[in-house]
Protein backbone atom coordinates (compact mmCIF):
# COMPACT_ATOMS: atom_id res chain seq x y z
CA UNK A 1 0.00 0.00 0.00
CA UNK A 2 0.95 3.60 -0.45
CA UNK A 3 0.57 6.16 2.29
CA UNK A 4 0.61 9.93 1.97
CA UNK A 5 1.79 11.65 5.16
CA UNK A 6 0.67 15.17 6.05
CA UNK A 7 2.64 17.28 8.53
CA UNK A 8 2.88 20.89 9.69
CA UNK A 9 5.99 21.00 11.80
CA UNK A 10 8.93 19.01 13.13
CA UNK A 11 7.74 15.76 11.66
CA UNK A 12 9.19 13.31 14.15
CA UNK A 13 6.19 10.99 13.75
CA UNK A 14 6.52 11.21 9.96
CA UNK A 15 10.25 10.45 10.30
CA UNK A 16 9.54 7.34 12.39
CA UNK A 17 7.03 6.11 9.79
CA UNK A 18 9.19 6.98 6.78
CA UNK A 19 12.24 5.23 8.24
CA UNK A 20 10.12 2.19 9.09
CA UNK A 21 8.82 2.08 5.52
CA UNK A 22 12.38 2.23 4.21
CA UNK A 23 13.58 -0.64 6.41
CA UNK A 24 10.44 -2.67 5.67
CA UNK A 25 9.33 -2.66 9.30
CA UNK A 26 6.22 -0.87 8.05
CA UNK A 27 4.92 -2.68 4.97
CA UNK A 28 4.02 0.44 3.04
CA UNK A 29 5.49 2.91 0.61
CA UNK A 30 5.39 6.60 1.47
CA UNK A 31 3.98 8.20 -1.69
CA UNK A 32 4.69 11.75 -0.56
CA UNK A 33 5.08 13.92 2.52
CA UNK A 34 2.90 17.02 2.31
CA UNK A 35 2.82 20.13 4.46
CA UNK A 36 0.68 23.22 4.77
CA UNK A 37 3.83 25.08 5.78
CA UNK A 38 6.77 25.54 3.43
CA UNK A 39 9.09 26.07 6.40
CA UNK A 40 8.07 22.84 8.20
CA UNK A 41 11.27 21.21 9.39
CA UNK A 42 9.83 17.79 8.55
CA UNK A 43 9.88 18.60 4.83
CA UNK A 44 13.67 18.71 4.71
CA UNK A 45 13.89 15.59 6.87
CA UNK A 46 11.58 13.81 4.42
CA UNK A 47 13.52 15.03 1.38
CA UNK A 48 16.82 13.97 2.97
CA UNK A 49 15.37 10.48 3.40
CA UNK A 50 14.45 10.43 -0.29
CA UNK A 51 10.70 11.05 -0.04
CA UNK A 52 8.75 13.14 -2.50
CA UNK A 53 7.52 16.34 -0.82
CA UNK A 54 4.61 18.68 -1.56
CA UNK A 55 3.43 21.96 -0.09
CA UNK A 56 -0.22 22.99 0.05
CA UNK A 57 -0.78 26.72 0.23
CA UNK A 58 -3.72 27.30 2.56
CA UNK A 59 -3.09 31.00 3.13
CA UNK A 60 -2.49 31.85 -0.49
CA UNK A 61 -5.16 29.62 -2.04
CA UNK A 62 -7.76 29.18 0.72
CA UNK A 63 -8.84 25.92 2.31
CA UNK A 64 -11.02 24.62 -0.51
CA UNK A 65 -8.30 24.99 -3.15
CA UNK A 66 -5.59 23.68 -0.82
CA UNK A 67 -7.69 20.60 -0.06
CA UNK A 68 -8.34 20.13 -3.76
CA UNK A 69 -4.57 20.15 -4.28
CA UNK A 70 -4.13 17.56 -1.52
CA UNK A 71 -6.84 15.39 -3.09
CA UNK A 72 -5.18 15.64 -6.51
CA UNK A 73 -1.81 14.71 -5.04
CA UNK A 74 -3.34 11.72 -3.25
CA UNK A 75 -5.03 10.56 -6.44
CA UNK A 76 -2.08 11.24 -8.76
CA UNK A 77 0.26 9.29 -6.52
CA UNK A 78 -2.28 6.48 -6.08
CA UNK A 79 -2.10 6.82 -2.33
CA UNK A 80 -4.33 4.36 -0.50
CA UNK A 81 -4.20 6.01 2.92
CA UNK A 82 -3.72 9.53 4.23
CA UNK A 83 -1.75 9.58 7.46
CA UNK A 84 -1.84 12.75 9.54
CA UNK A 85 1.26 13.29 11.66
CA UNK A 86 1.04 16.65 13.37
CA UNK A 87 -1.00 18.16 10.54
CA UNK A 88 -2.49 21.23 12.21
CA UNK A 89 -5.30 22.00 9.74
CA UNK A 90 -8.84 20.77 10.21
CA UNK A 91 -9.92 18.83 7.14
CA UNK A 92 -13.35 19.85 5.84
CA UNK A 93 -16.28 17.42 6.09
CA UNK A 94 -16.28 17.28 2.27
CA UNK A 95 -12.65 16.19 2.20
CA UNK A 96 -13.20 13.62 4.95
CA UNK A 97 -16.22 12.20 3.09
CA UNK A 98 -14.24 11.99 -0.14
CA UNK A 99 -11.60 9.83 1.58
CA UNK A 100 -13.98 8.19 4.03
CA UNK A 101 -12.27 5.67 6.29
CA UNK A 102 -8.92 6.31 4.60
CA UNK A 103 -7.55 9.07 6.85
CA UNK A 104 -5.69 8.16 10.04
CA UNK A 105 -4.54 10.51 12.79
CA UNK A 106 -2.43 10.43 15.93
CA UNK A 107 -3.35 12.54 18.93
CA UNK A 108 -1.21 13.08 22.04
CA UNK A 109 -3.93 12.37 24.64
CA UNK A 110 -6.39 9.63 25.52
CA UNK A 111 -9.34 10.68 23.36
CA UNK A 112 -12.10 11.59 23.98
CA UNK A 113 -10.14 13.43 26.70
CA UNK A 114 -8.23 16.54 25.65
CA UNK A 115 -8.94 16.92 21.94
CA UNK A 116 -7.62 19.98 20.11
CA UNK A 117 -4.25 21.48 19.36
CA UNK A 118 -2.86 21.32 22.92
CA UNK A 119 -3.58 17.78 24.10
CA UNK A 120 -0.41 17.44 26.16
CA UNK A 121 -0.60 20.87 27.79
CA UNK A 122 -4.32 20.55 28.53
CA UNK A 123 -3.78 17.19 30.27
CA UNK A 124 -0.85 18.67 32.19
CA UNK A 125 -2.89 21.66 33.33
CA UNK A 126 -5.79 19.41 34.35
CA UNK A 127 -3.37 17.52 36.63
CA UNK A 128 -4.53 14.08 35.50
CA UNK A 129 -2.37 11.18 36.79
CA UNK A 130 -2.26 9.62 33.36
CA UNK A 131 -2.64 10.72 29.79
CA UNK A 132 -1.41 9.05 26.63
CA UNK A 133 -1.68 8.63 22.89
CA UNK A 134 -4.54 7.75 20.53
CA UNK A 135 -4.44 6.55 16.92
CA UNK A 136 -7.80 6.83 15.20
CA UNK A 137 -9.62 6.98 11.90
CA UNK A 138 -10.65 10.53 11.08
CA UNK A 139 -14.33 11.35 10.84
CA UNK A 140 -16.01 14.69 10.28
CA UNK A 141 -15.44 15.89 13.87
CA UNK A 142 -12.07 17.15 15.10
CA UNK A 143 -9.91 14.54 16.89
CA UNK A 144 -12.75 12.07 16.65
CA UNK A 145 -13.53 8.77 14.96
CA UNK A 146 -13.05 5.03 15.47
CA UNK A 147 -10.10 4.40 17.78
CA UNK A 148 -7.48 1.97 16.48
CA UNK A 149 -5.15 2.02 19.48
CA UNK A 150 -4.42 3.85 22.70
CA UNK A 151 -1.49 3.73 25.06
CA UNK A 152 -1.34 5.28 28.49
CA UNK A 153 1.49 7.43 29.77
CA UNK A 154 1.75 8.03 33.53
CA UNK A 155 2.59 11.40 34.93
CA UNK A 156 5.08 10.84 37.73
CA UNK A 157 5.83 13.18 40.63
CA UNK A 158 9.14 14.26 39.11
CA UNK A 159 7.70 14.96 35.64
CA UNK A 160 7.86 18.45 34.19
CA UNK A 161 5.80 19.41 31.16
CA UNK A 162 8.94 18.81 29.08
CA UNK A 163 9.61 15.31 30.41
CA UNK A 164 5.94 14.39 30.00
CA UNK A 165 6.06 15.65 26.41
CA UNK A 166 9.17 13.60 25.73
CA UNK A 167 7.54 10.45 27.12
CA UNK A 168 4.42 11.01 25.02
CA UNK A 169 6.39 11.59 21.83
CA UNK A 170 8.46 8.44 22.41
CA UNK A 171 5.24 6.44 22.82
CA UNK A 172 3.74 8.07 19.71
CA UNK A 173 6.58 7.02 17.46
CA UNK A 174 6.31 3.37 18.46
CA UNK A 175 2.52 3.23 18.65
CA UNK A 176 1.97 4.84 15.25
CA UNK A 177 4.29 2.37 13.50
CA UNK A 178 2.80 -0.65 15.26
CA UNK A 179 -0.80 0.39 14.81
CA UNK A 180 -0.39 1.27 11.13
CA UNK A 181 1.36 -2.02 10.47
CA UNK A 182 -1.50 -3.99 12.03
CA UNK A 183 -4.09 -1.82 10.33
CA UNK A 184 -2.51 -2.18 6.87
CA UNK A 185 -2.22 -5.92 7.32
CA UNK A 186 -5.91 -6.13 8.20
CA UNK A 187 -7.00 -3.84 5.36
CA UNK A 188 -5.20 -4.99 2.25
CA UNK A 189 -5.67 -2.79 -0.77
CA UNK A 190 -6.37 -4.16 -4.20
CA UNK A 191 -2.83 -4.20 -5.54
CA UNK A 192 -4.05 -4.68 -9.10
CA UNK A 193 -5.97 -1.46 -9.09
CA UNK A 194 -3.05 0.58 -10.42
CA UNK A 195 -1.68 -2.17 -12.69
CA UNK A 196 0.04 -0.91 -15.78
CA UNK A 197 0.50 2.52 -14.32
CA UNK A 198 3.56 3.96 -12.63
CA UNK A 199 6.23 1.56 -11.47
CA UNK A 200 4.00 -1.18 -10.12
CA UNK A 201 5.83 -1.11 -6.78
CA UNK A 202 3.32 -1.68 -4.07
User: Is there a contact between 66 and 36 (Cβ–Cβ < 8 Å)?
Assistant: yes
Choose the stretch contacting ligand GRF; rule: CB under 6 A; options: 10-18, 19-27, 91-99, 156-164. Answer: 10-18
Consult the annotation and say whether 116 binds a ligand: no
The CB-side HSE value for 118 (13 A sphere, CA atoms) comes to 7
Query: What is the distance between the alpha carbons of residues 117 and 106, in angstroms, rounded to a whole number?
Result: 12
When the beta carbons of 1 and 86 are compared against ligand GRF, the nearer one is 86
Q: Does 7 bind ligand GRF (CB under 6 A)?
A: yes
Alpha helices in 62-145 (DSSP H): 63-76, 93-98, 119-126
Q: Does 45 bind ligand GRF (CB under 6 A)?
A: no
When the beta carbons of 137 and 189 are compared against ligand GRF, the nearer one is 137
Choose the stretch contacting ligand GRF; rule: CB under 6 A; options: 12-20, 56-64, 148-156, 192-200. Answer: 12-20
User: Is there a contact between 102 and 71 (Cβ–Cβ < 8 Å)?
Assistant: no
Strands (E), 14-128: 29-35, 53-55, 81-84, 103-107
Consult the annotation and say whether 125 binds a ligand: no
> Which member of 34, 108, 132, 145 binds ligand GRF (CB under 6 A)?
108
Point out the catalytic residue in the list 107, 136, 173, 187. Answer: 107
User: Is there a contact between 36 and 89 (Cβ–Cβ < 8 Å)?
Assistant: yes
Q: Does 11 bind ligand GRF (CB under 6 A)?
A: yes
Query: What is the distance between the alpha carbons of residues 195 and 193, in angstroms, rounded to a whole number?
Result: 6
| Binding mask of the shown chain, residues 146 to 175, with x at each position contacting ligand GRF by CB under 6 A | --------------------------x---
The CB-side HSE value for 59 (13 A sphere, CA atoms) comes to 4
> Which member of 33, 43, 103, 106 binds ligand GRF (CB under 6 A)?
106
Consult the annotation and say whether 23 binds a ligand: no
First vs last C-alpha separation in the chain:
6
Tell me, by CB under 6 A, how many residues bind ligand GRF. 14
Q: Does 107 bind ligand GRF (CB under 6 A)?
A: yes
Binding site for ligand GRF (CB under 6 A): 7, 9-14, 42, 85-86, 106-108, 172
User: Annotated catalytic sites, by residue?
Assistant: 107
Amino acid sequence: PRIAILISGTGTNMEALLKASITGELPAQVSFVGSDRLEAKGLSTAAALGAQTRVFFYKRDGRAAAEEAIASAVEETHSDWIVLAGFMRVLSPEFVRRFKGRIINIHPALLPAFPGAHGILDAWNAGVPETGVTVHIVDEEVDHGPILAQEKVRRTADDTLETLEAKIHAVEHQLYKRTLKEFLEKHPVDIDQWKGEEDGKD
